[in-house]
Amino acid sequence: MLTGATEKPDVSAAHKDRRLRAVYRRELQDSVLFSALAVTAGIAVTTVVACLVAPNAALAEILVATPLVLTGLGVARTVPCRSRRFVVQLGMLVGLLPFLSTATTTTLVHGSESLSLGALGVMPLAFAVYVPLERRQHLIWLILADAIFFGVIVACSSAAVWSGEMLALTFTAALAFGLSLGANEIQLRRRQQMNRQLLAVRGLYGRMKEHELDLRRQDEFLFMQQETLVVQQAELLRLNEELETIARLDALTGLGNRLRLNEDLAQTAARIERIGGTVGLLLMDLDRFKRLNDTMGHLAGDAALRGVADVLRKTSRLGDGLYRYGGEEFLVVLHDCDESALAAAGQRYISAVAAAGMPHPDNPPWNLVTASAGARELSQRNCIDIDAALHDADEALYVAKALGRNRLEIHSGPPAGEIVPIDRQRAAS
């Protein structure tokens, strides 16, 4: 869409535009070259005709026409390559050659006054059309042409010859003068219109290029934003995964929390129901932990909890689950572990806690941090319910507490010969 700046550009901008000036200079060079060749051919033809009409003046015609023809040929040869700075002056010189030729022919050949009238009428008009100049340059050329034409005729002709032709020549010269100015003005207005159109198109093209650059910058900015968004989304996914992991870990010990325990036990129960197998639940509780907090402070209690968590990590097998069940209670889920293996594993964990040597002055007779544990085996024949299994392990734990602490008790399920189907177990619960 054209704006006010591109629809009506300043006319002076065309004179300042180097590319437009170069284009018009080349056009003027072509015009001067064409005019020089046409004028040279015209002078030669006029000379031949004059020699045939007036053989007595043939020598004088040839002597006068020869330098004019040579001048025209020299201009035609010079214009294309060496006349960029003087193309206007050469064009004016080419335009003066026909007047010199016509004036000398008129004075040398009697009876050719009509040729003078035709030259005065046609030459300025043709010059204005084929060699477009600025107003001042064209006006200077017209004055020089008329001065040369009339000067040559007046200098070479008698007053008697001129007395009958002066009025006609003067009228014809004035008419040609006006027609030439009019034709030159039309050419200049046409060029100005072309300048406005070219500058408008160039301004519009410049705005389109700027708009294209803006669009390209916007595309690059959007691409960068998209890349940033992708990075942020990846970071957000990573942070979400970390948050999900952190949400399933106990902040103090780094073991799994109750949320993680519930999810893992649900998967374990589903796997046992589907493909069978055995899993051991080992519920551990630190002995007289409240007294440790009361005598040594909560910081010592937290250190004891972290120490027990480290012991459980070092003692557990790869794949077993470790969880902080709550307060000073810990739960170990041992996969592929029957009741006999569960007893050995539970005793190993209890012994490892005591062997860690963490002080507990108010836990006689050991005066160390110890743990009591209750265990429960899960299988297809005794997997009544996860909550019931945890309750059974908790009951076994309190039995171990009642029997003196720092020991393991295993809760026995149904008798080995009695196999209760899963659906009946759930119905019974």
List residues with catalytic annotation: 328
Q: Are strands 371-378 and 321-326 parallel, antiparallel or unpaired?
A: unpaired
Cis amide bond preceding 365, omega within 30: yes
Q: Are 356 and 272 in contact (CB under 8 A)?
A: no
Helix %, strand %, coil % for the chain, to 5? 70, 10, 20
For β-strands 279-286 and 329-335, DSSP reports them as antiparallel
Amino acid identity, residue 136? R
Residue appearing with tokens 């005729």: 153
Transcribe 147-175 into DSSP letters.
Answer: HHHHHHHHHHS-HHHHHHHHHHHHHHHHH
Question: In the chain, how long is the greatest CA-to-CA distance?
Answer: 163
Query: 14-42 burial, b for 16+ CB within 10 Å, e for fewer?
Result: beebeebeeebeeebbebbbebbebbbeb
